[in-house]
Structure 1
């Protein structure tokens, strides 16, 4: 979970999972390029997700159920990218954590909690689309804003619950061999470590991806049937569903490689698989695919604008509201004429 084997980074072969694999030069590339990449996605993520949240907040109409989920997803993405600069400094500093143990815990919990919350908010999105299209008559009454808000609250709580191991076991420790203070997961024993890793795979990948896959298959089947029957009455729902499917696809592209690496790393540590090539792949892959997954927080708001016709309409309406308010305020408070201009008008 966003950690690095110190021996792998500093070239100590005795600490590379107990193998005698030769060291790799790839860490120098990670050390130099990854902080720049993290800062870029941080800036883009903050700008784009703030924009999405402002559109939803400033629009005069109340958010629909789908928009409640999207706004919570944007909030989770925003909080996640706000935590990343600390980790960029950590990497550029040779994994020497300069912010103290409190921020070591809080920043890691922020990243973990918001990543898991994003995943489970997408689960809610999938279920909402499934109910809206597949069981419109049976469970349509359940698609109410108050239930959507309650569901989002539960998902935030679940995200925090899944981040408890990070809160409990993250700490800063001085490593004299490397002369650094590292922020790392210090599990009490190997059994607890394996249990937490298995829970990560099951709760953050297998369960949500199973629900999302089931809902997506049913949604696609229903859309095909409705396309054949040429039902035009539910075009709004179908447009919303198209947006959700694109967002889900982006999530899969960004997050599946990270979870595959996590599963391989777990199998490697229980010695079901092995080898120097796999060891080097896991060391670098853990870093690369973790931060590739975080790119999803930048991609989501872009997709809202490109694919979401209703969102673009909301943006136009918000700008129209803002322009009308400015025009109304200028009419209410006309500029006062100076004494000279008044005198000129009187003389003329």
Structure 2
């Protein structure tokens, strides 16, 4: 909602604090999501390729340390944005939120963000997943067709994740590099391109869980089963209720017979 005001309103109306905070928050979120994806690829690489060592590498202490390092690195890389983002006043008493950098510092920052926030994570993700696929190919060379299909599904998931990562973040970096090192046009087409790039960058974190979920056969089967629960015989929840009802009826019947037996003995 804050970012949409930049595209919809001719002036900034949210004040100096929001001007600094929202751009800082966006940069931190961007870096955290990218570094987390990179860490996940390393985690999968260790779990599959180095399965024997994974038991002492993939522990809670190391996971916590990794999360803390990701956030510290992200906040540190985003700090210049919070420092140089300012509210600029116009002559007509209107204002706009803009980054005011010293000469050439902005170019250095944009290039560093592109290298450390896109190229290196992309290279790390690609290398880790390629090693995982290579390991699976060698390990599952002479296996059943079912294992072969599982290997192909894993390869498809890896390919989709890497492609989505590239497509989500590349337009964002193209815009920033174009502005700093080229002549970015100010027209309707470039305005739409900037909005699309912004939306794609935000969508990456929300798309990945969908990819992992719907490419999982277990998830798809459970999803279909949940929507097919129309008849009582098809729904596990209804089956549980039926079993519970039968058990309660049986207990009541046993109790009733026991009560009749005790009454007969008393008579």
What TM-score, normalized to structure 1? Answer: 0.56
Once the two structures are TM-superposed, the CA of residue 185 in structure 1 deviates from its matched residue by: 0.7
- Cα deviations across residues 315-335 of structure 1 (Å, max 9, x unaligned)? 99xxxxxx89xx9xxxxxxxx
Alpha-carbon distance between aligned partners in 1 of 2:36 and 2:151, rounded to the nearest angstrom: 19
SS at match of 1:295: helix
After TM superposition, the structure 1 = structure 2 runs for residues 199-218 of structure 1, keeping only pairs within 5 Å, are 199-218=112-131
Choose which of 111, 115, 124 in structure 2 pairs with 1:198: 111
Do the aligned partners of 2:133 and 2:155 also contact (CA within 8 Å) in 1?
Answer: no
**Stretches of structure 1 lacking an aligned partner (at least 5 in a row):** 1-84, 269-273, 317-322, 328-348
Counterpart contact for 1:169–1:186, Cα < 8 Å: yes
**Other structure's SS at 1:172 match:** strand
- Checking the alignment, whether the CA contact within 8 Å between 1:106 and 1:167 is kept in structure 2 is yes
- C-alpha separation between the residues in 1 aligned to 2:107 and 2:81? 14
- Structure 2 CA distance for partners of 1:217 and 1:195, relative to 1, 3 Å: same
User: Given that residues 239 and 309 in structure 1 are in contact (C-alpha distance below 8 angstroms), is that contact kept between their aligned partners in structure 2?
Assistant: no
1:103-162 superposed Cα distances (whole Å, 9 cap, x missing partner): 111111111101110000010011111112222234552012332232122112211111
Q: Structure 1's 267 and 147: CA in aligned 2 closer, same or farther, altered over 3 A?
A: same
Residue pairs, 1:210-229, within 5 angstroms: 210-229=123-142
SS in 1 for 2:140: helix
Contact 2:129/2:158 (CA < 8 Å) preserved in 1?
no
Residues 122 and 248 in structure 1, CA contact (< 8 A), matched pair in contact too = no
Deviation per residue, 1:218-271 (Å, 9 max, x gap): 1222222233232889x9999788656533332222112322343344432xxx
Question: Structure 2 vs 1, CA of residues 291 and 306 (structure 1 numbering), >3 Å: closer, same or farther?
Answer: same
Change (3 A) 1:226 1:311: same
1:245 and 1:133, CA in 2 relative to 1: closer, same or farther beyond 3 A?
A: farther
Q: Specify which of 3, 13, 23 is matched with residue 108 of structure 1.
A: 23
Partners of 2:172 and 2:201 within 8 A in 1: yes
How many residues are paired up?
Answer: 232
Paired with 2:91 and 2:196, the residues of 1 have a C-alpha distance of: 27
Partner of 1:93: 9
Question: What residue number does 2:177 align with?
Answer: 263
On the 8 A contact 2:213/2:219 being kept in 1, the answer is yes
Q: CA deviation at 1:280?
A: 5.6
Residue 38 of structure 1: aligned partner: none
- Say what the alpha-carbon RMSD is for the aligned residues: 3.8
Helix, strand or coil: the match of 2:95? Answer: strand
Task: Output the CA distance in 1 between the equivalents of 2:132 and 2:174.
Answer: 26
Deviation of 1:309 (Å): 4.5
Residues 32-181 of structure 1 mapped to structure 2, 5 A cutoff: 85-94=1-10, 96-176=11-91, 180-181=94-95
* Structure 2 alignment gaps of length 5 or more: 225-236, 242-267
Separation (CA, whole Å) in 2 of partners of 1:311 and 1:185: 45
Of 266, 273, 289, the match for 2:197: 289
Query: Which residue pairs with 1:306 in the alignment?
Result: 214
